[in-house]
Amino acid sequence: MLADTDFLLALVKDTDWLKDKAIRLLKEHKKKIRTSVSVMIELALICKRLNIGILETFANIFEIINVDEKTYEVSMRAALFIEKYKLNVFDAFHAAFCTDNEIISSDSVYEKVGIKRISLEK
């Protein structure tokens, strides 16, 4: 079963009106719960808005639910780009998916994290 953002937020926030139910469902279905990279993107946006540490939140989530190796790798790399290099959430995930270290973009932000940019300008 796929965990949506509200389930994960209920688990990681100190207080949440869904927390008790989320904890109960986690205990009942722990080995079956997984999530997707799109949920992690949404979660990163919410964490930024609520001023919650993204790296720590992602690490905590990946201890309690299942994700494939690619989702884990991309999400953790994006979280690092957000926190260390101050990339916005979407740029961070684009950069994290950029496994060949080249991106076509007019945005120079990717160069901060060592990605070669093929410029759209001139």
State the Cα–Cα distance between residues 50 and 94, nearest whole angstrom: 22
Residue 60 belongs to what domain range?
A: 5-119
Q: Residue 7: is its pLDDT beyond 90?
A: yes
Give pLDDT, residue 101.
84
pTM, rounded to two decimals: 0.90
Contact yes or no for 53/43 (Cβ under 8 A)? no
Summarize pLDDT for 11-51 with one digit per residue, the tens: 988 899 999 999 999 999 988 999 999 999 999 999 999 99
Query: What is the C-alpha radius of gyration for the chain, rounded to an integer number of angstroms?
Result: 16
Instruction: Please tell me the total count of domains within the chain.
Output: 1
36 token code pair? 């997707």
- Exposed, middle or buried by CB within 10 Å (0-12, 13-18, 19+), for 65? buried
In terms of Cα–Cα distance, which of 6, 25, 26 is closest to 16? 6
Summarize pLDDT for 78-100 with one digit per residue, the tens: 999 999 999 999 999 999 999 77
Give pLDDT, residue 31.
85
